[in-house]
Structure 1
Amino acid sequence: RGLIGVYHDWCESFSTYPRTYDLLHSNFLFSNLPERCAIIDLVAEMDRIVRPGGYVVIQESKQMINKVGSIFRSLQWSVNLYNDQYLVGQKSLWRPEGGEVQR
């Protein structure tokens, strides 16, 4: 794997397989979204393309970090905040309790 920089219109789904990336980084992406994009849709897309154990590093305003962090937590990510402007989240390999697979 390598480090590849990509510019993408996050209002569209990312043309990739699920669980492809180890790391996503964004710099004021959420605060610069056009009105046609919902924050929750963008976080759901990030959740789809990051593999379990992978990370997101997000630089945003404190207000936006709080909004985004709560969405990631609801998706069972571990979230840490640094200097009131950086969110570092790690995707867990989460399964619902009692969710045994029936065969």
Structure 2
Amino acid sequence: MGMFDWYEPEAAHACPECDAELSGWQGTSGPCALLVYRQGRRYPVDQRVDPEARLLALRQAAFDLPAAFQIHTFCANGHPAALQCGCDDHRWVSCVPSALR
């Protein structure tokens, strides 16, 4: 299993195939340290690891997101979905449905 980060978009998104609600967004454009990013925030809000393995006590600036990145998930029916996301001054500000790449 490869490493990734978790992403929480502000708005709910539905599967383009069956309209099921989507959750559990993941991506590999960030540090890939199981960090949790929430749209509208510059820095990660959490890290989903055991307490002794947490990196968030380190300088948060080391965890900036790129200007553009893609996140993905699967709906409960197994259909893939992706969002193209963007940052302004390293703050996650946008996400729109996109094709998987």
TM-score scaled by length of structure 1: 0.27
Q: Which has the larger radius of gyration?
A: 1
Greater helix proportion:
1
Greater strand proportion:
2
